[in-house]
A and B are shown apart, each in its own frame.
Chain A
Amino acid sequence: MFLYNLTLQAPTAVSTAILGHFSGGKHQEVVVARQQFLELWRPDTATGKLVVEHSENLFCRVRSLAAFRLTGGSKDYIVLGSDAGALSLLEFDTRGKRFVAVQYHEFGRTGLRRQIPGQYVAADPRGRAVMVAGVERTKIVYVVTRDAAANVMIQSPLEANKAHSVCFDVVGVDVGYENPVFAAIETVGGDGAQTTKQLVYYELDLGLNHVVRKWSVGISDTANKLIALPGSSDGPSGVLVCSEGFIEYRHSTGGANVHRVPVPRRTGQIDTRGLMIVASAVHRMKNAFFILAQAETGDLYKIAVQYTADEVTRIGIKYFDTIAPTSSLCILRAGFLFATTMESGSGHQLFQFENLGDEGGECFSTDTEHDSVPEFSAHELSSLALVDEIESLSPVIRSQVHNLADEEAPQIYALCGRGARSALRIVRHGLEVSEMAVSELPGTPRAVWTVRRRESDSCDEYIVVSFVDATLVLSVGEEVEEVKDSGLLATAPTLALHRVDGGGLVQVTPRAVRHVMADGRVSEWQPPQGREIACAAVNARQAVVALARSGGHAIYFELHDQLGVLREHEQALHVGSDITSLALAPVDAGRVGAAFVAVGCEDQTVRVFALDAARCLEPLSVQAVADSPHSVAMVQQGVLTLYAGLRNGLLVRANVDAVSGELSTPRTRFLGARPVQLCVATVRGTPAVVALATAPWLCHVVQGRVRVTPLSYDALDYTAGFASDQCAEGLVCIASNTLRILSIDRPDAIFNHAAIPLSLTPRDFVLNATSRHFAVIETEHAHLTSAQAARELVARGDINESEAETAILPPEQFGLVRSERGRWASLIRVLDPFTGDSTQIIELEDNFAAVSLAQVVFGGETFVVVGCARGMTLSPRGCQAGAIRTYRWAEEGTRLELVHATPVDDIPQCLLPFNGLLLVSLGGTLRLYDMGIRQLLKKTQSSVSPHVITMMRPHPQLPNQRLFIADVQESIRLVAYSPDTHVFRTVVDDTLP
């Protein structure tokens, strides 16, 4: 059975990204592929922020992307290579905000198959044809045209297959307006015969409508990547072929004249093999172009090609900067570099170019012969500056769910990333909030408002804080300070505050509705003797106030256009039940006032009344709710939406018909056992509701849908939208006796994470529940830690002892030093997840690698057991010696203390506590150990699995009798333990391999 699965979060790794004008506008945008998701990101060149415009689940595996523009067009299309067995040409529909398939042509079966094209797609730079290629044999070319109505059309496919050839890369060669040419790296040679690698040009003959293998040339056997150079009037055309350790220029007209440059490497390296180029970007400027290419170490190189009218004369390569290894690079015309990543554990980064790296550093070119690989010394970022980052969790190696911080919802603790960029990430459901200012207030405020004089103002003028018996007015500017001459009454609490058309303010206090006009005059309306105002709702032209304990008596005011004052409407509103809260509907464009008022009543209802002249104060609809409403709000979120926060902590959301005021589709959600206070704010230019319960929640529109997400922040009492010069879109909040200014940087994210850096690829972790510390094992193959690398270099005589401290570059930025296969770096770390400090790091010496980890209770005491292997080799699988190290928790669970190490004869791949004993898997064998004084004591052994056991899990109902084991090759089986004979035997196995 195969099911579509829908995840809460899209995969965070980006496998490919392409640059183009997908909306057809002036701005360059990026389309990124996240496994089955296709997303449109817009790097905002003004603010330097990455904005996720659109994300869509395509329900297929996106394998490759190419941007494609028809000749003379202004909009880029997307060529999608997927596992659908079809070619899709997508367009971003700017009106409907989604990707639309403009052409779809099936050519094979679905799935990731070697002979079905889709692994590579390439577009002709002039937009006349696209090529789709498979891993083996198949290549299909489609001619793309435009019909009379300017729709994109594709003609029937043209095949260019070659049996037994494996394809490594395909690009479209820029040949101007001659016949389109695609270049491919492929192997030739029959099945079994000696194979060689060739660069092949496939030419699409537009006149004869067929594809020919036009030209081929033998290239290095390690060639893996092609970079197409600009052609025609912009460049020399042709391709750069990247091989292990060097890059060479090839073109069909180039003849025997091959330009080859080595890829320089860093000084002080232990591994001497050639570097492989993993990503590249070509940047065209006026009359010039350059190429940025990245090697697997993360080093960026700038490649410059000099050429005359008919041939390339020189290729120069120069070290540029070092960033995390990427999966694709895009250079924006506005001077930004966008780098996506799949594996590094850091995020997708947007850099700004500070310079083009022309100053300093040595340039290696084809002019000189290079006997040995040239070397350079890597430096900190000097030409690039990081401006924004979208975090990535990929790859997640292990994760556990705990509520260590005693928060409302548990947190996900995930081991992410690899190498020196790996981290323990604490993932929380909620939006990330950045705190911009916190200041103490005298006393405990009740509510806060922001107000500006004119609607067109971009910044707020005052922050008004209401206390139990007073009101404090603060001015917004460079400094936030108290204002005395605002005309607002300071000696009474404020119930509502709003700007009034004509430059005035209206302030509602329990004993008055005060209209402070622009010239400072105040007109006041006072409730009848002995009556107080309970609640109020105000906008720029209207005010509704409800009197306390009056059985639902409310008075409606409207701004009189000629007099410029608020006038009481001749009719009063009688609801019949005490009013707890009021809200005015937002004013629609083209109208002067709100059409509706929502009234929350003590009798557990929310009612909607009309305010337009024809049916003023006429009841329109009633919604019964589960408790009396604490506050109500109305916002325009696609449709007019009514929110009601109830005393029992429920949030009710209902749609309001814009004409009849009818309420429909009410939805209820529990936010926490506290009355829900609702406040209206603006998020990304659209109205949103902040619901304050035991935690703050944001109800906002993301990609056309309303989403209710918690904010990862303390509980708040009241909040209001806020805008100032420093913060264009923020929230001003009160929490107990403090005033805080917050901003939400990424309202589209559902999860936020805090990262605690680790130093090697993490493999597993366990929690000490009493001390709340984690024990983590980290293991890295074929790499050395900084200390090991320094020792190695000293031993080889490359550096002396005194230089050892500084010789190794910081691995967090430059990565770990590579050594040869069969060498391991490994450590055990004890970590405090609250402070992020490592309380202990045990480095494993003697080429030991930590493989597995478990926490076992022997005789009432908890031990941490680590399975280790010395000199482990992956293929064929084996090790020189295995060991199980037993540690006990010491110093209140903040350190580990070695009790003993037990030698074993194979790699202890999995460990599991079982029946009060320790179960170890060695290859396909299960072995039970008990605690001993000098080492673990072997109790029983059974061979149950044909190859290697990779995972063991206890049966959920019978944890002491049965367990599931997974074999590396032979699926999963259920194994039973019989305590009488001390034997494990297979009960159920899987028929599938």
Chain B
Amino acid sequence: MDKFGMHNQTEHMYARYSGTGNSDISKHQWITHQHRDTLAHYVADDSMAMLVSIAEGESVERTKFNMLQRMQQPCGPPPTKTTNE
């Protein structure tokens, strides 16, 4: 069936570009990727980081640090198996 090794290549692409998403992704995984993308963008964009820092009354450096820190688990730990949607 898998004449050209397509399945293998797809797997490889998923591994390489994490956050791509597929039909089996859980809601938690999906929202985590969304949050990570957003946070990474805010950290990379100095104007956005400054906007957030003024709203929060923090220094830009600390705002960026807080957002990088949040990137590890932006939506909390993954739900246990029973509540998994």
Contact = CB atoms under 8 A, between A and B. Distances in A.
A135 B68 contact: yes
B54 A783 contact: no
Interface in B63-85: 65, 68, 71-73, 77-78
A874 B66 CA distance: 15
A343 interface: yes
A276 B44 contact: no
A736 interface: no
B45 A61 contact: yes
Interface string A774-788: 000000111100000
A112 B65 contact: no
A480 B51 CA distance: 53
Contact of A874 (B17, B36, B56, B72): B56
A116 B23 CA distance: 24
B60 A136 contact: no
Nearest to B79: A192
A222 B62 CA distance: 10
Contacts of A35: 46-47
Interface residues of A, number: 45
B40 interface: yes
Interface in A28-64: 35, 61, 63
A120 to B, nearest CB: 10
A327 B46 CA distance: 11
Name B's interface SS: helix
A418 interface: yes
A781 B58 CA distance: 9
Contacts of B43: 119, 135
A840 interface: no
Given A112-B44, A112-B45, A119-B44, A343 B36 contact: no
B44 A296 contact: no
Contacts of B41: 112-114
A224 B40 contact: no
Contacts of A394: 50
B5 interface: no
Contacts of B36: 114, 136
Interface in A377-397: 394-395, 397
A279 B61 CA distance: 9
Interface string A8-30: 00000101000000000000000
A471 interface: no
Interface string B22-53: 00000000001000110111011111001101
A405 interface: no
A343 B60 contact: yes
Contact of B65 (A168, A325, A874): A168
B60 A112 contact: no
B46 A13 contact: yes
B54 A395 contact: yes
A342 interface: yes
B50 A395 contact: yes
A325 B58 CA distance: 12
Contact of A276 (B37, B40, B47, B59): B59
B73 A276 contact: no
A195 interface: yes
A397 B73 contact: no
Interface in A191-244: 191-192, 195, 222, 224-225
A166 interface: yes
Contacts of B57: 761, 780-783
B36 to A, nearest CB: 6
Given A137-B18, A276-B65, A342 B46 contact: yes
A741 to B, nearest CB: 41
Interface of B: 17-19, 32, 36-37, 39-41, 43-47, 50-51, 53-62, 65, 68, 71-73, 77-78
Q: Name the 6 nearest CB pairs between A and B, nearest first.
A: A114-B40, A781-B57, A296-B59, A112-B44, A278-B61, A782-B57
11 contacts: A112-B40, A112-B41, A168-B68, A191-B78, A192-B77, A225-B61, A296-B59, A296-B61, A342-B46, A343-B50, A781-B55
Given A35-B46, A61-B45, A781-B57, 12 more contacts: A83-B44, A112-B41, A114-B39, A114-B41, A119-B44, A135-B68, A135-B71, A191-B78, A192-B77, A342-B60, A343-B50, A761-B57
